[in-house]
Structure 1
């Protein structure tokens, strides 16, 4: 008979309570550029001040001494007014939702701000250098708790101030709104996911298509606008910028690192500004916001993933400025905060708004009460809640100063050409011919391996000790303990993209905070858009995924559960009849019955399927060079009644992994194989070093045992896989990665691995009633990470530790780690 939940995990609580922490948490003042989980360091120029999270838009006020930010973060969305000289926040106006679009009327008396999931545009009166909410312009009527169907993004106002133009991001249309009546008078079709709107002095309106390749052009007509066709620019265009006379339109394409320049009179692209990192694939800078110098001859481009602003000196024909003397080339870069999303330029200074600001930081004093979605403004310790933005004021200097700033950007990003892979790179590895890449769900290092006394763990944060995860512990001890491994990602949408593509697009980065905070949108981040498989995936990186590298190389590849959709989506059945990859090449190489994320299916089923096919490979004498395997059940279902307990879920996950390694170790392929095991993200738990620190297992006869303190992250693992298999790179992050060339031994340990059985029965179920069981019943667990992060974490904590152990504040990178530096 199943035991009540507190007794089920009694052993876990006792183990954690009886063991001292192997390292106390530390935090000191930063003494130098801090490292992000992406591997880059932050070294912003000028004066940096804190603002709200994810400022996606920024416009100058009519007086010119202030700017208005539009916040699109997890914990807060709305409008902030910032003093332009000092960066001080002088006014904050929260909105239920906001997204990208903010603009003033030509007379300066009205401020319009997108209402995102509310399907409205908020209208503020601007007077005495501050904003006062007047009303909202309704794009669609919806029930109070329903999600938006229009989702206003970019906004622009007609030159006479009578008309508001709104990009309806989820409706693939431009709404034309009569300001006086507040009515939508026209809707005109665009390509998918319209993003920005620009209104020219002659009344022409331009709309970019985040999910397409064009800018839609609409010209004035009797009673409104008419469709004047589309301009092909570049893949997934986002930010738009018109010069003062409206003769040039600049169009950013984030995932191709390009800015197209359009002659609006001739309606053609007259120049393309190339904006990639110094070498490697043309993906990884992510240009996503634009500003012109007052003379129109210099363009500033916010590079979200380079944490910089690129400076382009334009040619006369490109700028449509007769005395411009540039050559349309990158003149230099200016270092910013993490993920710059908006930029403004004056003669004296740049103003830069960075979405993720100062990066991760320690937070030992997280809140104790359970937070619900109604308390999104409260401080908390989950990753998306903690992200805050910054505004940066950078005085503009001469060419020598720009050169010095450029050198800082290069150093901060680790754009070291000596790290670029070469023909010699593969010689650093043993004779490995097969890579198995296993991706799991959401655990921190301390949750799973915090009781390994050889390394830097904190047992007070342990969820799943050796008794629950014996194979994780034994594999780490035999093949290497990595206590300075960090996932690049914050949550699963970027987690699976970082894990498969070494990159996350601006579409993903800018929409996830809204999706995760219950402000609408669908989960568009693993091959589907709007719950369908699209022809052109808005979240797909231009360089593709790891399997595309395998396709280009011509090596054998097999996929087990990653980026799949069920053939039979009937959730009432015991299991869908089959699965297919949702990308063309992936579909041809995906195991048809291996499940994706589905907590109703044990990981033992996944292990059975993988092992059965492994035995078939043995019979054939051939094993694919690259395999991707998804083992998701360490995600758990919290305290949901009737579901396996968190310990049982983890035991299932642990046993499945152990069985797979045992089976592999008894085949002829063992000598020539390495298995990399990591989490897609580490959002669901605390860690005393950093919330992004996570378990990494490198399992191979060639893996060197012991404790490895060297710094590494997800994209470093990808760089390692690429070098072993002779593959190209996908973005700047794996191209300039820190491959694990130094963790191998000269003499292989060919002993087979013997699987260990967890002490927790896999059949244990949650039976207890109470607040946690009731809360778990309402958690959205059909897809990964749809549940409220903080609530889920606290349920897990109490399940593992009991009701009387205080929930810890999750911590970020410590002063010790900053001092140590790492690789």
Structure 2
């Protein structure tokens, strides 16, 4: 079928007829949990775990099997689960009744080990910097051993306990302290620290050689982040700068720079031996005998793409000759000959030749068989365990697990595998008619229980069957539809009339609470607390028949929306990765579920940077990046309003309006994004009205692309975050929590009103979504959220029932702009062609003003001494006056 489609400018070549594409198996299904059959995840992938499965508390990242092989302990944040391996009977510490108390005071992190008696366990205390000793039979805390103190004349404070291992030969514990970047040796007879050995940055995983002579440490940190030069507690606020100081891996980030007359220290080279590396420590001498950089290194080329993210080495299994290290970013396993102190090879983890060129398996936990012939690797991103031939360096097959497998262990007799998966079968509904509140609560992160699996170690035929199931759970291949649809089914298959994509991201809402009243969608109107004619409760008053988010309802019904869209994320730390095409790695996942506190002026360097938030930090980067790097790589013009301005512990005051945040700890931004980010648009900061952001956006858009010399970029991202909500501030125009939603609704209406009156509208697509669903409730699934599209080539009055997630959104962007997919979630995502039409309707959108009882824009802007000119806003943006431009041209020429 070769035809020139005059109405759209599409050209579909005849050769394109033979193309196929990949989509998720649940592309026509709603998310659901069916523990006896097939569960459909928010990603559209299926879950059908092998073996016997029980559900336990969410997000276990530590797993140990007792020396006698009878029980296992899984470690969560502030919780652990004791499991009888014969019967899978289990109980939680603390229990929900409050009868069994938790020995963990401030959470926990990764580390759990059994003593030789198979009843005493040692638990990472995480943020409190201690190791907790506990009797699993008497259910009694025995001791707490602090990592703080003086060792060899050096004082250590603010420790943060990470992974740990029991050393039978020395009757000691080897404990990682991610606060102070070190390994600590604790004599269990005296309960004293007998040695402290410096490691690389953010030590994460630890293991020992079979002869107990060497300890191996995997360091996931990229940098030790400095403060602005001269910062003290007294002057810190005055020294902070208004944006990220530099792009990553630039001259400025390595050597330092000057901003507003302030000296900004650099973070050094990403190739430093302390950065994302594996250390081997001789336990006889307490000396580091080698520092190795595993995986792909920054600047290397993977096919036609430059590596921008570190390998993220995280977990280690050690045999008599080789140590095996999982590199999460590279989807491979480093093989280290530790006697020769060198990396001998990397084993690529293979899933299927159709997706193996892309990353996204995210290898995490690893274990080695006693004969050292087989490795078992938990694939956090693939919902499977990889079985690796350690001698031939090949992938033998895959075993289906739950959502987000983190750790895998072998039974004592090696006849069984034990696997923990952080999110199990998913969340399911957390509200609505007939919903019964479970004991763990209704918050999205709590309601989705983890799983513990007991699986028979498979023979060759069983492994082949398991592998088939994993592939079926992940994707299916279908013919690429060849129509005159403005969304090509594959990148570059044909041209699209859409030339500009605007990506509007908001914060924390579910579908039902915003759009649940729409009769055309699958909603529960009883949950639509931000809908029409709802009751709004304040501290001292009640409003009835309020209309909280009228623009959202109007945009959804005038254009197109999905009632089957899900955020892959639970919270912002995940969401701001997923929405820009970066799969959260093991560092992001574990940090998102651990209690942690920043200590800016601590001598412990890890305390200045306890974990990621709204930005993607150097520890989080994907191998070849995400959306921003893909746009840059394909020379597609783009500009960012508000994304990636928030690192951990920034200041977010009402007057931090240039980017929404003020920075005192110097963390780089992605190099591709740094020079393309507005320095006059407030990102996440609910102290700043979304109306203020809209003034910033309209002014900068007008200056750059309406009255300026340049044309609008092909891609623009805009953050409008105030539907996140915050505490009532009546004096500032926010008398209710609902006021933030109304502010956001008006801003969202304003931006569509504005954009649809620019000359670019005729070739524009606007995508509106949320970063995560954690603030809300939904009767289908706690991850179900808001996705709307608008533009001339978007169907009018349409509701899509096809599955959608962030991968689907990115597939829309990549396919329209002709960009190669970045990861396995992009290439296998649902195709959302049903949103589009080849018969454009250029009619603009007309915004709806808010219910002033809920939100008064004028009052919100009063503290900025700014008035909103509604007449000008309703009229739309001012275009260039040709006569004025001609006059100005000649005036400038005469000068």
Q: What's the TM-score bracket when you normalise by the shorter of the two chains?
A: 0.7 to 0.9
Instruction: Report the CA distance between 1:79 and its aligned residue.
Output: 3.2
Residue of structure 2 equivalent to 1:781 = none
Q: Is residue 294 from structure 1 mapped to residue 370 from structure 2 by the alignment?
A: yes
For 2:612 and 2:48, locate their aligned partners in 1 and report how far apart those are by CA, in whole Å: 40
Judged with a 3 Å threshold, the aligned counterparts in structure 2 of structure 1 residues 587 and 480 are, in CA distance, closer, same or farther, namely same
Judged with a 3 Å threshold, the aligned counterparts in structure 2 of structure 1 residues 689 and 709 are, in CA distance, closer, same or farther, namely same
For 1:428 and 1:625, locate their aligned partners in 2 and report how far apart those are by CA, in whole Å: 17
Q: Is residue 683 from structure 1 mapped to residue 748 from structure 2 by the alignment?
A: no
Instruction: Report the CA distance between 1:569 and its aligned residue.
Output: 7.0
Residue of structure 2 equivalent to 1:647 = 738
Residue of structure 1 equivalent to 2:314 = 238
Instruction: Report the CA distance between 1:461 and its aligned residue.
Output: 0.9
Any conservation in 1 of the 2:433–2:779 contact (CA below 8 Å)? no
Task: Please list every run of 5 or more consecutive structure 2 residues that lacks an aligned counterpart in the other structure.
Answer: 1-29, 95-101, 151-156, 222-274, 296-310, 482-486, 533-546, 662-667, 860-895
Q: Is residue 87 from structure 1 mapped to residue 88 from structure 2 by the alignment?
A: yes
Task: Please list every run of 5 or more consecutive structure 1 residues that lacks an aligned counterpart in the other structure.
Answer: 1-24, 143-147, 316-326, 372-376, 768-823
Instruction: Report the CA distance between 1:30 and its aligned residue.
Output: 5.9
Residue of structure 1 equivalent to 2:576 = 496
Any conservation in 2 of the 1:446–1:686 contact (CA below 8 Å)? yes
Any conservation in 2 of the 1:41–1:412 contact (CA below 8 Å)? yes
Judged with a 3 Å threshold, the aligned counterparts in structure 2 of structure 1 residues 428 and 45 are, in CA distance, closer, same or farther, namely farther
Superposed CA deviations along residues 334-379 of structure 1, whole A, max 9, x for unmatched, are: 001111111122432211122222222345599999x9xxxxx962
Q: Is residue 452 from structure 1 mapped to residue 513 from structure 2 by the alignment?
A: no
Residue of structure 2 equivalent to 1:8 = none
For 1:597 and 1:670, locate their aligned partners in 2 and report how far apart those are by CA, in whole Å: 27
Instruction: Report the CA distance between 1:647 and its aligned residue.
Output: 3.1
For 2:431 and 2:161, locate their aligned partners in 1 and report how far apart those are by CA, in whole Å: 37
**1:62-73 equivalence runs, <5 A:** 62-72=67-77
For 1:71 and 1:353, locate their aligned partners in 2 and report how far apart those are by CA, in whole Å: 11
Instruction: Report the CA distance between 1:751 and its aligned residue.
Output: 1.2
Judged with a 3 Å threshold, the aligned counterparts in structure 2 of structure 1 residues 481 and 291 are, in CA distance, closer, same or farther, namely same
Judged with a 3 Å threshold, the aligned counterparts in structure 2 of structure 1 residues 763 and 478 are, in CA distance, closer, same or farther, namely closer
Pick from 50, 56, 80: which aligns with 1:51?
A: 56
TM-score by length of 1: 0.79
Residue of structure 2 equivalent to 1:637 = 726
Q: Is residue 165 from structure 1 mapped to residue 166 from structure 2 by the alignment?
A: no
Judged with a 3 Å threshold, the aligned counterparts in structure 2 of structure 1 residues 107 and 267 are, in CA distance, closer, same or farther, namely farther
Residue of structure 2 equivalent to 1:112 = 122
Instruction: Report the CA distance between 1:157 and its aligned residue.
Output: 2.8
Superposed CA deviations along residues 143-178 of structure 1, whole A, max 9, x for unmatched, are: xxxxx9322111123342333211112221111222
For 1:354 and 1:154, locate their aligned partners in 2 and report how far apart those are by CA, in whole Å: 18
Judged with a 3 Å threshold, the aligned counterparts in structure 2 of structure 1 residues 607 and 273 are, in CA distance, closer, same or farther, namely same
Instruction: Report the CA distance between 1:574 and its aligned residue.
Output: 2.6
Any conservation in 2 of the 1:522–1:530 contact (CA below 8 Å)? no
Any conservation in 2 of the 1:367–1:381 contact (CA below 8 Å)? no
Q: Is residue 205 from structure 1 mapped to residue 215 from structure 2 by the alignment?
A: yes
Residue of structure 2 equivalent to 1:37 = 42
Residue of structure 1 equivalent to 2:394 = 329
Instruction: Report the CA distance between 1:277 and its aligned residue.
Output: 4.2
Residue of structure 2 equivalent to 1:314 = 390
Q: Is residue 730 from structure 1 mapped to residue 843 from structure 2 by the alignment?
A: no
Any conservation in 2 of the 1:281–1:543 contact (CA below 8 Å)? no
Judged with a 3 Å threshold, the aligned counterparts in structure 2 of structure 1 residues 536 and 704 are, in CA distance, closer, same or farther, namely closer
Residue of structure 2 equivalent to 1:617 = 705
Judged with a 3 Å threshold, the aligned counterparts in structure 2 of structure 1 residues 367 and 288 are, in CA distance, closer, same or farther, namely farther
Judged with a 3 Å threshold, the aligned counterparts in structure 2 of structure 1 residues 218 and 123 are, in CA distance, closer, same or farther, namely same
Pick from 127, 132, 141: which aligns with 1:133?
A: 141
Residue of structure 2 equivalent to 1:715 = 807
Instruction: Report the CA distance between 1:46 and its aligned residue.
Output: 1.0
Residue of structure 2 equivalent to 1:589 = 676
Instruction: Report the CA distance between 1:69 and its aligned residue.
Output: 2.0
Pick from 138, 163, 179: which aligns with 2:188?
A: 179
Q: 3-state SS of the aligned residue for 1:742?
A: helix
Superposed CA deviations along residues 594-615 of structure 1, whole A, max 9, x for unmatched, are: 0111112111121122222332
Residue of structure 2 equivalent to 1:17 = none
For 2:557 and 2:378, locate their aligned partners in 1 and report how far apart those are by CA, in whole Å: 45
Pick from 408, 416, 424: which aligns with 1:357?
A: 424
Residue of structure 1 equivalent to 2:693 = 606
Instruction: Report the CA distance between 1:738 and its aligned residue.
Output: 1.0
For 2:854 and 2:615, locate their aligned partners in 1 and report how far apart those are by CA, in whole Å: 38
Instruction: Report the CA distance between 1:439 and its aligned residue.
Output: 0.4
Residue of structure 1 equivalent to 2:283 = 220
Q: 3-state SS of the aligned residue for 1:689?
A: coil
For 1:675 and 1:522, locate their aligned partners in 2 and report how far apart those are by CA, in whole Å: 41
Residue of structure 1 equivalent to 2:247 = none
Q: 3-state SS of the aligned residue for 1:55?
A: coil
Any conservation in 2 of the 1:284–1:305 contact (CA below 8 Å)? yes
Judged with a 3 Å threshold, the aligned counterparts in structure 2 of structure 1 residues 413 and 292 are, in CA distance, closer, same or farther, namely same
For 2:650 and 2:163, locate their aligned partners in 1 and report how far apart those are by CA, in whole Å: 35
For 2:217 and 2:32, locate their aligned partners in 1 and report how far apart those are by CA, in whole Å: 47
Superposed CA deviations along residues 552-611 of structure 1, whole A, max 9, x for unmatched, are: 111111000100159x97766733455798322211001111011111211112112222
Any conservation in 2 of the 1:284–1:503 contact (CA below 8 Å)? yes
Q: Is residue 561 from structure 1 mapped to residue 642 from structure 2 by the alignment?
A: yes
Q: 3-state SS of the aligned residue for 1:738?
A: coil
Judged with a 3 Å threshold, the aligned counterparts in structure 2 of structure 1 residues 660 and 393 are, in CA distance, closer, same or farther, namely same
